[in-house]
Structure 1
Amino acid sequence: MPTIPPLAEQPELPQRFDMLQAGLDLLDQGITVFDADLKLVAWNQTFLRLLDFPAHLARVGAPFESFIRFNAERGEYGPGDIDSQVEERLAAARDFAPHIRERQRPNGRVLLLRGEPLPHKGFVTLYSDITEQRYIEHLTEHQNTQLEERVRRRTAQLENANANLRRVSEENARNAAALKRSEERLRLINDTIPILLGYVDKDEVYRYANKGYSDWYGHPEGGVTGRDVLDVIGPQVYSQVRDSVEKALSGEQVTYEYQMERDGQTVFARSTLVPEISPEGETLGFFVFSHDITEQKRMQAALVQAQKMEAIGQLTGGLAHDFNNLLTVIIGNLAALQDHRPDDAGVNEFVEPALQSARRGVQLIKRLLTFSRQQPLEPQTVAVGPLIAGLAKLVRRSLPESITISTDLDHADIHALVDPGQLESALLNFALNARDAMPEGGRLHIAARPVELDTDAVAFDVALGRYALIEVADNGCGMDAATLARACEPFFTTKRFGLGSGLGLAMAYGFAKQSGGGIAIHSQPGQGTTVLLVLPLTQADLRPDDAAADLPLVSGGELVLLVEDDPNVRRVVRQQLIDLGYPVIEAENGAQALEMVEQISDIAIVVSDIIMPGGMNGRQLAATVRQRRPDMRLLLISGYSDEAGDPDMSDDLPVLAKPFFREELARALQKAK
């Protein structure tokens, strides 16, 4: 057996041990290593600080039991027998299994514990303080201050650690073999922890890099040491970090973020460069501590996207109210002109297309409100074939000429009980995803047919039965198994960073489940993607309301109080009421309306807008009128389709959505309570 040279003949071992241990103590994560006999082999000061252990507990060879018993005696594990608590945790340590879990400290800090067994028994545990990550948006400035303070403390700790390690090396000179084993264990720790560690000298040459650092830049293990920084990280990354490297080599500690392309994806990292200063004040190099923040960046982008969606929703709701008022005036006047000139072909030639366009405007507003979540879901019997046929025309305008669209609706005489706007949004999302998967052109095919699901129901996570099956297929680039497994996850996207929210498929999946159906996706790289959407079949709507619509309207005669702040809308509604035979008096706000109700006993019906100036809205007016004149009938009108009611009001008041036609107003008046 070869003999181990004395430590004096191995001068590189203490120096390398110093560097590794110093780097270990600089980490803001605690580390402990216990051997097969549950004896302490290595630790750092952060471990003692995070878990509030006194320094005298930490020494080479300290038993694992001493730390457990210390925690039990100070109540870390709650009430109970201390010996039982200690034995339970010792048993788990003897049969150590890899684990990752969070732990709430009595001082309110949240620690993430990651434990991994070592090849020759024993285990290494990493303690990370993740409290700040919970409040990252609110505490960013505070964290920067803390980071600067920690760096200052670590610089002092580095000097103290170097002095302590020199004394330890002198004391361990008689045991060079043990020192070598310690070095190997520390290297194993550095290669196991999820931190990118490196050391660069003053000539911008790597002198050390752990396995994680090499993997991050796509180099084999050990393939970084001895190479220039530019050669290792590449010109694209180097252009982002060059200024920070220069600051570190001038003796300044610096933290920065950078991005790079890896495996076709944009990834992000945050690095801290800590200079190594000699006693004479010369900068010898710097340590690199980096970690992956890609998921954090994606979550921040998703949050920004959600905030934009909320802002769009608020803006859309307000615009919809104004547009509905405008459409009320437009439709009311056009309909009145048509009624007064029924036999004038010249007038009708212009009026009829204008009315049709106004009606399409009403449907457009409803779709915008549905998109922004300002309008509730409105399930109704939908003829799937005509809906797809109409959508295909809309999609054609959104796709390049290089993509052909085909449909198969021969068996699409089927109906489903869904919100048509949500169904159109889901199908449109599928089509736009297909477009993105075919940048060079291709084919998009949409088909629908009835199916009977038995064993196939499992794939859609639905009950057995008959369903309407809608198929959207493309021959684009397709997805691999890993991407397909996450396709419907919220905020997951394969699009370039900043170009996709990752919400489209997730929202479509939620709509399908809410409607009693499901989604299944089949895809392979290079073979395209097929999205299958199933919705419960229903019978065609016999539309009994249409039969009621053919009944003659009851003529008016009762005095109506019309309350509307917009004079143009008020004029149109007044004319509709007069045409229906109702005498009308007007008020432009709630206060005026209440005065008229108290002074004019002949008022039989109050027709009021909901949103009005003056401190009293339509619902509040209706509540007051109902208290004072319980016999009076009430009808609310609104430019919103989902006005929020007063919590003290019952929900039995009819609301007529603007814009409306004279016949709709007449029937609403007949139903007014």
Structure 2
Amino acid sequence: MSDQTTTQMMRAGLNLIGQALTIFDADLRLSVANRRYQEMFGLPDHIVEIGTDFADTIRYLASRGDYGEIADLEEFVVSRTEQARAFEPHYMERQRSNGQWISVEGSPLRTGGWVAVYTDITQIKQQESLLRSEGAKLEADLFNRSEELAETNRSLAATIATLEETKRDLTEAEARARMTSEMTPAHIAHVDRDQRYTYSNRKLSEVIGSQPRSIIGLTAREALGDEAYNQLKSKFESAFAGEPSVTEVDLQDATRRVRVALTPDVAPDGTNNGAYVLSMDITAEAQARAALTQTRKRELAAQLTSGLAHDFANLLTVILGLQSKLERIENLPDTAKDAIATTKAAALRGGELLDRLSDVSARRDLSISAVSIDTLFEDISNLAHAALPDTITFDTENQGIESAVMLDHGFVQDGLLNLVLNARDAIGEAGEIHLTARLRGTTWIEFIVTDTGSGFTNEALQSALDPFFTTKKDEGSGLGLTMAYDFAQMSGGRVRIKNRPEVGAEVTIQLPLRFGTQTTDPGMVLLVEDREDLRLQTREMLREMGHSVIEADNAEEALTLAQIPGVSHVLTDIMLGDGMNGFEMAQELLTAGHNMPVIMMTGLPVDDPIHQQASAQFPLLRKPFAGPQLAEKFHEVHA
């Protein structure tokens, strides 16, 4: 079959379809058009001839009004021609000027150009219009219903938005409350009527110690342990009966003190759903409270006894003076001499008692510094061995305390030495005394003195810490243990006494544990002391500490020597003879811009005005002192 025959057959077939069809080539010239194309658009013969330019077709249709009103025909033709050159697949529907509706579907060819199919959809559009008019009433009802539903939906949406915002606020508030609860340095919890925990902020182990971190579902006894629960059992029962309570309990052998508040969880209808629990570790607070209480007691005692002691001292002075006059009378009978000697001894004993009472009641601030336990024990051993007979052995034991501890060296040493001497008196001729230092948890350091004496009597166990109580009759002042107790209370600690299971007594001083750091870096010390013998002794102590020393015996010379480069410390006595005193010299150094530490030495009484002025501004070392006390004062300056 020839190509011409094939072409005629294809043309005949295209003319039979009910849609218009055109094909334009890559040069935008008509290649194929069926009869329906000419009929649909009413085109003249020269427009449907093969080879007709696309621009001529557009110009003809536009001039006839197929595209509506056009301001510039040629510009419109150029624009549509450029769009055709960048042809893309498309489908569109448009209404001609004669009211006819046609759909246009175009698709590009691989060889260039495109094929377009035009369909008359006028009847379809008329049917759609008819359906719209028939459904107008239904649409109106539906529209009204839709409006009502839309309004309801808008109201519901607003309600949902409000609920969502409230939910977010509640979630944020709950998160903040939980975070606050977790950050609070206390245990916050809730227990139900069965005493089972329903909520906990996981702080129980920090407050009580060594308890499980997760306690939800555990009973109070399981979570708290027997020691704590047995002390709180009645408080839980009271809370379930509707009675709130706040109580303090001692745990872990009194090394930890905890405050517990129980608040009933009562519903609006009166039903008790359990209790809220707030627990806080107040060990440090209890220590400070005990120290403050003891300080107030001391101040009150000082106020009550100061006037009495002064008058009593005057009376003793009169008695001693009269007894001295009686002693000078000649030919006194022996009985009178004995009475005079006894009276003098009693008066002197009264003077000693006044001194001890003054030590207890007089105000003395703690001088806290970093103290090595080994060094402390060495000092106490030296002092104790000088006061103990050879038949009594004395030893010390430091149970692993390697770091320096913040203590008042003088107070601790005096207190422990008093206990050692009490143990010596209780032992008698021969026996053993043992001094131990150990840690109790992370809050306490304990000093324990044990002996192989006869132990405490029942009366002593009740009253040994009371002032003036003694079992030594006329030989004891009854203030030895009281001084140790007073020091412990001032420090926020406590004293416990008991008899050992087999033989002897045991006294424990428990003090708050604070670790410190000792500084031993040597420097150049300017030593200012007007007494040559004291200057010599102090110079040797400083050199043993590793310092180099330059000396002055008056303030004027010291001010000159302070200009020497490298002076790291000034150690000066307050009283320096004639001229400027040590306190005034130190103030001159500060005024001149010197910033090296200044340490004062003095033997003045605490109530002396110069002593009070100096101690308020500079570290102060009381005379007499030994090497360790001097070293501790230097450590205190650097702490």
Greater Cα radius of gyration, structure 1 or 2: 2
TM category, shorter: 0.3 to 0.5
Q: State TM-score, norm by structure 2.
A: 0.35
